[in-house]
Amino acid sequence: MEKEIWEKPLRQCNIGGEALIEGVMMRGNNKMATAVRKSNGEIVVQTYEHIPVSKKFFLFKLPIIRGAVNMLESMVIGMKALMDSAEEVDIEQEEESKVDKFLQKIFGDNMFRVMLYFSVAIALVFGIGIFMLLPNWIASWFTFDKSTPAGSISANLIEGALRVIIFISYIFLVSRNKEIKRVFEYHGAEHSAIYAYENNEELTPENAKNHTTLHPRCGTTYLFVVIITSILLFSFIRWQSPLINMAIRLALLPLVAGIAYEVFKLAAKTGFKPLRAISYPGLLLQKITTQPPDESQLEVALAALKAVVVPDNNPEEEHKNDKDPEPKGEAV
């Protein structure tokens, strides 16, 4: 594993982002920016003011709660940025269908927003169904007595192992797709660009390419911590009927996300090796979800980064924004 990952950065920051279709989104300092390279080679940068929900409401700042809120907010923002990037790169659109015309008639100018939230809902249902409920259903096929403490723990551990296998298999299979591989290269560009910024280097492709693509604050690592947290938490719950098991897991999902967020956040900042080791499986998985970018991809990532960093590197403003840096995840 690259030594750079464990070195304390010269600049603590709360910058994070997400790989898009031919682009990168960056968040931090109450700003969000997307940079997308169009088919003609032009880089289009759009910047927005963005204050996380966890900073707007006191309740959402509390430990555990902020993790669940952050995960849901990241999904919504990430999905919108991904859809916007698809429009920017001039992906050919098919002729408007009767369904599109029907939806346009019903929702009017709000159709895009409705479809956005519908897409997030579908992604949640798919993710929960495949990675949470399916492993539990398969584990219920095993015929040993699950009513005893030992049997219940064994069933929960089998469920957890299946969840890890399904997750890693899914990541590996999607990485075989040519378009997804391009997204993973932009994912690597995002990480390398952030490393350059954390090391107080001039934000150029030449400097960024010297850094690793693996980052301890990556959303891939967070997702793996979520899975491990679910295994540990569910192992203390008695095995019930399939429907009750699924209901319990759905009810505890916000708690799992919240606990995982706190562990992930601490592991990303600590120098304590046993705790830091929690990030190691996720970092190994990043060897799939991040790929070495070329200089043109680094240029795009740096364009998004420059749009959200403090102008002229104002030390006072940076210090104010870095009091409690929050790890930002990427949707992959």
pLDDT exceeds 70 at position 249:
yes
Helices 280-289, 219-234: inter-axial angle, 10-degree rounding:
130
pLDDT exceeds 70 at position 90:
no
What integer pLDDT is reported at residue 24 of this predicted model? Answer: 96
Please report, for residues 10, 211, 302, the alpha-carbon distance to residue 247 in angstroms, rounded to integers and kept in the order given.
46, 44, 44
What integer pLDDT is reported at residue 4 of this predicted model? Answer: 83
- What would the mean pLDDT of 58-76 be, rounded to a whole number? 89
What integer pLDDT is reported at residue 53 of this predicted model? Answer: 85
pLDDT exceeds 50 at position 247:
yes
Dihedral angle sign, alpha carbons of residues 114, 116, 117, 122: positive
Any idea which residue has 């979520």 for tokens? 226
The proportion of the chain whose per-residue pLDDT surpasses 90, expressed as a percent, equals: 40
The reported pTM is 0.82
pLDDT band at 177 (very low <50, low <70, confident <90, very high): confident
- What would the mean pLDDT of 79-93 be, rounded to a whole number? 71
Please report, for residues 26, 310, 328, the alpha-carbon distance to residue 189 in angstroms, rounded to integers and kept in the order given.
12, 20, 16
Higher pLDDT pick, 62 / 242: 62
Q: Look at the chain and count its residues.
A: 332
Question: How many Cβ atoms are within 10 Å of 251's Cβ, its own excluded?
Answer: 9
pLDDT exceeds 50 at position 319:
no
pLDDT band at 317 (very low <50, low <70, confident <90, very high): very low
What integer pLDDT is reported at residue 195 of this predicted model? Answer: 95
| pLDDT tens digits along 148-174 | 889 989 999 999 999 999 989 989 998
Contact 22, 35 (CB under 8 A): no
What integer pLDDT is reported at residue 311 of this predicted model? Answer: 59
> What residue ranges do the domains of the chain occupy?
3-91+98-321
pLDDT exceeds 80 at position 92:
no
- What would the mean pLDDT of 52-58 be, rounded to a whole number? 84
What single letter denotes the amino acid at residue 97?
S
pLDDT band at 91 (very low <50, low <70, confident <90, very high): low
- What would the mean pLDDT of 98-103 be, rounded to a whole number? 65
What integer pLDDT is reported at residue 97 of this predicted model? Answer: 57
